[in-house]
Amino acid sequence: MAVEHEKSTLVLYEISGRHARLLDRQPLAYHPDSAIWIADDLVVAAVENSFSLDVFRVTQGRLQLLRQIPIGISPRDVVLVDASQGRFRLLATPYSGKDVVWVDFMLDEPESATRLERVKWCEAPWHPVRVQRAPGASAGGIVAACLDEQRVVIARSDKLLGPAVNLLTVPVTTRVIPRHTRPSPSGRWLYVAVETGGRNLRMNMDSGELQWIAAPQEVGTVSVLPLSDDLVVWGVDSRVYLQRIGEQGDVLETRWLPVDGFPTALQLIDADADGVRDLVVYNSAALPKKMGIEILYGPLWEQARPYTQ
């Protein structure tokens, strides 16, 4: 499933092997930025101008709008926090502003039964993600990068609906922009994509230690995806970088792969079912005549190009 920003459209594709087939497209208000599966046949899109989460059912390759949930903010992201016996808990975070919205609903209940709760987190808490553990939060929680506050916050699992608390502050005096965070598969590290300053950051989720990681070039990093504790993918304009990281945050080796646009989100799946993981790249501004989504088929490290200064 893909979201096309320019056409204000939710788009459904079928992927078979290494081929994608367009199944359906449905209009949305300008502009959808996040769309997720919450069940095998249910999709939710976060839509900016309608201040809503739009819920669709996939039936015989078609998208059917089931419900539009007004949430009172312009959502940048939506994530599924819990699903149990037909009840869903979603978290919507904004383009700007400090309010996030928790949404609890069941499709079998009337729309009036949907429960919303607004909570203040930080200014522009982007791209929330669940973590297994964190300093001061042994049970983990949900983390977001505060685009306009030079910090990362966490809503602890034991106080999930309460205000988020500070997890880390970027340790510099000049303004930098933490944009995107993702934990390593083991949960040991939290990697932070920093949009300015020519370097990125990671945090040891046991000790709280912060380590700078040299960026491969003086450009903003807009997304991050750890493939393991010490192998990470960074998204920058028109390419992704793969870096092997040493124990102290030193870069051991860098490689890169070209992409068709601005890779604002990354996902690791075995798209062609060959037993090797592939990288799904969600481009917010693709090149002309290119799709907003592309798949880089693995093995990723072996196929990436050596990086030279």
For residue 102, being part of any structural domain is answered with: no
pLDDT at 197: 82
For residue 97, being part of any structural domain is answered with: no
For residue 59, being part of any structural domain is answered with: no
pLDDT at 285: 66
pLDDT at 291: 56
CATH for 169: 2.130.10.10
CA 167 – CA 301 distance, rounded (Å): 31
Q: Is residue 161 exposed (0-12), middle (13-18) or buried (19+ Cβ within 10 Å)?
A: exposed
For residue 2, being part of any structural domain is answered with: no
pLDDT at 4: 61
Beta partners for 106? 87
For residue 244, being part of any structural domain is answered with: yes
Distances 33 to 47, 54, 65, 72, 283 between C-alpha atoms, Å: 7, 12, 17, 16, 11
List per-residue pLDDT tens for the chain, 309 residues long. Answer: 566 656 788 989 888 888 888 899 999 998 877 899 999 999 999 999 999 999 999 999 999 999 999 999 999 999 999 999 999 999 999 999 999 999 999 999 999 999 999 999 999 999 999 999 999 999 999 999 999 999 999 999 999 999 999 999 998 877 889 999 999 999 999 999 999 888 999 999 999 999 999 998 777 899 999 999 999 999 998 999 999 999 999 999 999 999 988 899 999 999 898 999 999 998 876 555 555 788 999 999 999 999 987
For residue 138, being part of any structural domain is answered with: yes
Beta partners for 263? 283
Q: Which DSSP string corresponds to 197-245?
A: SSEEEEEETTT--EEEEE-SSSS---EEEESSSSEEEEEETTEEEEEEE
Q: Is 31 helix (H, G, I), strand (E, B) or coil?
A: coil
pLDDT at 289: 52
For residue 45, being part of any structural domain is answered with: no
pTM of the entire predicted model: 0.94
For residue 5, being part of any structural domain is answered with: no
Total tally of structural domains belonging to the chain: 1
CA 86 – CA 263 distance, rounded (Å): 33
pLDDT at 220: 81
Longest Cα–Cα distance in the chain = 59
Residue 208 lies in domain: 122-309
